Amino acid sequence: MRDKLSTKHLQKGYAFSHLCDRLKRGVQTALCWFDGALELGCILLILTTVVVTLTQIFFRYVLNASLSWPEELARWAFVWMVFLGMAFGVHRNSHIAIDLLRRNLSDSWQSVHTIFMQVVICATSISMLKYGWVLVSRASYVSPALEWHFRYLYLAVPCGAALNLFYLARQRIPGMKYPLNAVFTLVMGLFLYLTIMHLSTTYMAGLQASWTLLICMLILLLLGVPIGFVLTFSTIVAISPQGDLMMLIVPQSLTSALDSFILLAIPFFILAGGIMNITGITDRLIKLATSLVGHLRGGLGQVNIVTSVMMGGLTGSSIADAAATTKTLVPAMEQRGYHRNFSCAVTSASSVLANLIPPSMSLILYGALASVSVGALFIATILPGLLVAAGLMVLAFVVSIRKGYGRDVERATMHERMAAFYRAFPALLLPIGIVGGVRFGIFTATEGGAMAFFYSLGIGFLFYRQINLDAIVNSFRESLQDIIAVMFIIAAASPFAWVIVTEQMPQKIAASLGGMASEPFVLLMLMNVFLLIVGLIMELFAAMVILVPILIPIITASGIDPIHFGIVLVINLVMGALTPPMGMLVFTTARIARASVAGVFYAVLPFLLGIILVLIMVTYIPALSLTLLNWIGP
């Protein structure tokens, strides 16, 4: 009898355990489906913006009719894509952060660091959810073209924040049991948010918002919190003493920063760059570069640089170029006797050319922030960009002599060069068409980005025929992560910059610089030093969004051409991608090639010095930037 009872208990226990396993697998399957649906939704939203933009071009030139709604629809879809994608970035830990501290921590301390980072993200998301919802409830106006209520635009912020909390609740931290770690993270995030709100009304009321903002930002940046959440959280802390009404500035500024048609050019060029990397364009450009300069001393290093010149003109994305070139050229360089650190250093240094050779995403952003012509910036940066490339080639030649790197490739015949040029010709047409189209007003920079994406797909299918559906989907997924990481920083920098401007920091900086520099020559020198320091600690796009509105009034009052200054500013800030603690290009190439990060930083020093020499030339010889522009015409 007892045996029968024990057998029944065992059967019931087994059945219950089996049921729990089935429920667990069902929940996991449902969550995977949800994740896939969210990712697919973000991809469809960004593709919607591309299609709508191309529709606008089609109606203008084919049907000779202008539409009022496509631009507005594209902006709204873009806003929703960024804030929904923000949560997906939290899920995949793909937001950009300065991880210098984390890399030097032990495993146990890395778990503590992860919890701290998640607590800050949680507190930020709670604030975005609360005040984003308040903004939605108070919105009372409609959009001009589609006549949609603005509450549906602002709703993207609380929806994204709620998804942040949902994904934080699913995070698993090594060394802690799930779901206790998730509950702990959410409770501590709520506690941090409530603590800030309490302190703001008792102890922080007399503090100057700008100093609170900057101190909080610097601490969190160095601690490795993702930059977008650093900027948003710092803004929340700084303006919380001013009451709930002022807190509505945060979700409103986050939304309005992205409600800009020109900024759509950035994700469009990122998408185009992803497509180019799977269509065989990169391989053909490398073969063309090899036929041209592969026979020189340090030949594959020279090929690396020339390839970056051509790739930069296609994608406008330094990270995309660095990843593609590292995968293709660094192994080949190692096989020919180049040290891995040197190979990664050449790749990292040459990848900055994507921000200096048009179409450049940094120049598009500068044009939007400084209200200057993007087409004029594209023309003005051609000669400085080529000077940087020439400087890098000279340094690669010198270092190759010192290290004993020889001529790797036999000199190509004219027939081989012409064959390589023919195969790469469809790709080379793209930058000429984009720059010319934007410069002469055929289409805007954003429409140029959409055309670049469409053209890349076209030549991939019709000319190179090295593309398939799986590769396209994977390219979209990788590009989506880059788009979200960059655009969320741009959005978060908007309320951050609002606090700085409200506190009249631009006027104070202008007064200080004016007192130190009465001449443009000295002012530019001080600007260079200041921007080089900023580039060490801040990501390119975040630094531009924060600094350009501050610096433009200063340089225009001093009689400096804003287009010339834009080239100087970009050259300054791109060097931050080659220096610690940011060094995104060095981290990217070292991670892909499995090289020593410290070794790559050391190997990149000669190339940094070369870029600095070109920067000095461009700074004090404005003709290098403006002569070609003046020749072509305003």
Q: In this structure, are 231 and 330 located in the same domain? A: no
Q: State what percent of residues in the chain have pLDDT above 90.
A: 14
End-of-domain residue from the set 259, 275, 295: 259
- Position 14 in a domain: no
Q: Comparing C-alpha atoms, which of 423, 421, 424, 401 is closest to residue 412?
A: 421
330 pLDDT more than 70: yes
Q: In this structure, are 345 and 441 located in the same domain? A: yes
Helix (H, G, I), strand (E, B) or coil at 197: helix
Band (pLDDT 50/70/90 cuts) for residue 156 is very high
Instruction: Encode pLDDT of 516-542 as tens digits.
Output: 656 778 888 888 888 887 777 666 777
Domain ranges, residue 219: 74-259
- Position 16 in a domain: no
- Position 92 in a domain: yes
From CA 317, how far away is CA 271, in angstroms rounded?
A: 10
The mean pLDDT of 289-299, rounded to a whole number, is 76
Q: In this structure, are 288 and 255 located in the same domain? A: no
Q: In this structure, are 457 and 409 located in the same domain? A: yes
- Position 626 in a domain: yes
Mean pLDDT of the residues in the chain: 81
Q: In this structure, are 282 and 230 located in the same domain? A: no
- Position 2 in a domain: no
How many residues are present in the chain? 634
Band (pLDDT 50/70/90 cuts) for residue 614 is very high
Q: In this structure, are 222 and 331 located in the same domain? A: no
11 pLDDT more than 60: no
Cβ neighbours, 10 Å, residue 516: 10
Give the total number of structural domains in the chain.
2
End-of-domain residue from the set 231, 259, 287: 259
Q: In this structure, are 368 and 255 located in the same domain? A: no
Torsion of CA 433, 434, 437, 440, to 10 degrees: -110
Q: In this structure, are 380 and 443 located in the same domain? A: yes
End-of-domain residue from the set 232, 259, 286: 259
Band (pLDDT 50/70/90 cuts) for residue 284 is confident
- Position 493 in a domain: no
Q: In this structure, are 408 and 548 located in the same domain? A: yes
Q: In this structure, are 190 and 291 located in the same domain? A: no
- Position 622 in a domain: yes
Instruction: Encode pLDDT of 548-583 as tens digits.
Output: 877 888 888 788 889 999 999 999 888 887 887 567
Amino acid code (one letter) for 158: P
Per the structure block, which two tokens stand in for 131? 């005040």
Q: In this structure, are 224 and 334 located in the same domain? A: no
12 pLDDT more than 70: no
Q: In this structure, are 272 and 252 located in the same domain? A: no
* CA–CA distances in Å: residue 519 to residues 513, 515, 547, 625: 10, 10, 21, 20
Instruction: Encode pLDDT of 95-146 as tens digits.
Output: 877 766 777 777 777 878 888 899 999 999 999 999 999 999 988 888 888 8
Listed range (40-44, 461-465, 610-614) with the worst mean pLDDT: 461-465
- Position 22 in a domain: no
Higher pLDDT, 287 or 15: 287
From CA 407, how far away is CA 401, in angstroms rounded?
A: 10
